[in-house]
Amino acid sequence: MYSGSTAMKKKSVAVVIVSNGPGELATWVSPVVDELNKINKSLCDDDKLDFTLRLVLVPCPNATGKEYLVANSWNQFELITTSKSFWKLLIKPRSFANWPKKGVVIFLGGDQFWSILLSKRLGYLNITYAEWISRWPQWTNKIAAMNLKVKELIPKRYKYKCQIIGDLMADIKLNSEISLKNKEKHYIALLPGSKKAKLSIGIPFFLEIADHIAEENQNINLIIPIAPTTDKNEYLFFQSKKNPIAKYYSSKIKTIQKIKDSCFDYVIETSKNTRIYLIEKHPCYEILKECDLAITTVGANTAELAAISLPMLVVLPTQHLNMMNAWDGIFGLIGKISFINRFLTFIIKFLYFKKKKFFAWPNIKAKKMIVPERIGNLSPREIAREALFLIQNRDELKLINDNLRQERGDKGAAKKLASMIVNSIKKL
């Protein structure tokens, strides 16, 4: 439930970080904690702050379940509570630890509302890092914004709470020992999805994209970062006869083999002898940042790719919407009723898809098309051809990369946020 290997003396102030998934821990929490400790160490003995660090993990569909272990291995936190314990923490915080009278809750991942609830429950100040939007400015004390666009969205009467600090993702420290660079090879990342509903279409569709790319160009290496909510066995399942959508595609997996002494974990070989390298580590920004292009489904992954300014081709095949009985959740249940299935397919195709202007997060946030989206009755061959066109036209890729960078914030955000926290502690 919580960590604390040694008996620790009580501190006067608690710094409580709220976060969720592996990406946020690696790229938001870790650099902020490092900068916070650096600032405190740089102070003279009389000025050093008296605080403890605590981490509260909140419910998240993209979490791996290993966040607690990862954070605990840093040996930075007096207390770590798991996402499963969040509601119990809200109801009875003293069942986990004694809480100082004064403290600061910092939002660094998940739903901003969770950090608001926790800060109100504990009677602490709240600082929200807003990457795209500050959702509850009336209830937070300070807002650390990624860029000017975030501040412009805040109602005028709350703008005084906001300070533009830059982009936490811009401060990512990459592993310099990992390198994909090969002057004779390009790298394309394939992201077919993480949930079963997407994988049922994505895996057979993306396998065929890979075969078409390999057929046209032998100088491209294809990689798949395995989403934390899935594993390699699902790739075997969804390309098999057990998946009713797989019959519409010719590409199949012949073998999946473990790789030793490589930054990759497995290699898929398709029935057409295409090799696709799998990566289990998440997040794997070191590898993704060295790719030339990503082909991805819609979803949160488009925001992650945008954060590292990786050019992407976003695809959403709509030709299988009538097969909702293969989907998860409520759509899978009601999709088994044929007339309801047909009605839902009509609603989604002709109302939702036609009215929704953009599907990829960078386009939604920029309110314009900065990465190409392909929505509709798509074939793997046409997507493969467009990907090959982009690979062969470096100016197009550079333009996408530049546009993605413009939508992000400046470097140095972790240090500025740590300074905000320090200043808040001093005023308590």
Residue 339 pLDDT? 56
Which residue do the tokens 């509903």 mark? 197
pLDDT tens, residue by residue, 29-44: 999 999 999 998 887 7
Helix axes 380-392, 394-407, angle to 10 degrees: 90
Provide the 10 A C-beta neighbour count for residue 413: 27
Name which of 105, 54, 100, 63 is nearest 84 in CA terms. Answer: 63
Q: Binning pLDDT at 50, 70 and 90, where does residue 338 land?
A: low
Residue 181 pLDDT? 58
pLDDT tens, residue by residue, 170-182: 877 665 555 665 5
Q: Binning pLDDT at 50, 70 and 90, where does residue 307 land?
A: confident
* Pair of tokens at residue 341: 């299935």
Q: Name the more confident of 365 and 384.
A: 384
Cis peptide before 192 (omega within 30 of 0): no
Q: Return all residues near 340 (Cβ < 8 A) that are at least 6 apart.
A: 334
Domain boundaries, the chain: 13-167+410-427, 186-407
Regarding the domain with residue range 186-407, which homologous superfamily does it belong to in the CATH classification?
Glycogen Phosphorylase B; (3.40.50.2000)
HSE-CB at 281 with a 13 A cutoff on CA atoms is: 15
Q: Binning pLDDT at 50, 70 and 90, where does residue 343 land?
A: low
Q: Binning pLDDT at 50, 70 and 90, where does residue 328 land?
A: very low
Q: Report whether pLDDT(334) > 60.
A: no
pLDDT tens, residue by residue, 246-302: 999 999 999 999 998 888 999 999 999 999 999 988 888 889 988 999 999 988 789
Report the Cα–Cα distance between both ends of the chain, in Å, rounded.
Answer: 29
Q: Return all residues near 231 (Cβ < 8 A) that are at least 6 apart.
A: none
13-167+410-427 and 186-407 share one fold? yes
CB 162 within 8 A of CB 145: yes
Residue 180 pLDDT? 65
Residue 285 pLDDT? 87
Strand partners, 122: none
pLDDT tens, residue by residue, 114-166: 999 999 999 999 999 999 899 999 999 999 999 999 999 999 999 999 999 99
CB 267 within 8 A of CB 259: yes
Strand partners, 164: 145
Q: Return all residues near 74 (Cβ < 8 A) that are at least 6 apart.
A: 30, 33
- Cα separations in angstroms, 86 against 16, 55, 57, 141, 363: 13, 11, 7, 22, 33
Q: Name the more confident of 338 and 312.
A: 312
Q: What is the pTM of this model?
A: 0.79
- Which listed CATH number (3.40.640.10, 1.20.1540.10, 1.10.3720.10, 3.40.50.2000) goes with 13-167+410-427? 3.40.50.2000
CB 222 within 8 A of CB 274: yes
Q: Reduced to 3 states, what is the DSSP secondary structure of residue 328?
A: coil
pLDDT tens, residue by residue, 61-112: 777 788 899 899 999 999 999 999 999 999 999 999 999 999 999 999 999 9
- Cα separations in angstroms, 165 against 28, 144, 420: 13, 6, 9
Residue 355 pLDDT? 67
Residue 342 pLDDT? 62
pLDDT tens, residue by residue, 190-242: 999 887 878 999 999 999 999 999 999 999 999 999 987 788 899 999 999 99
Name which of 184, 141, 183, 185 is nearest 163 in CA terms. Answer: 141
Strand partners, 312: 294
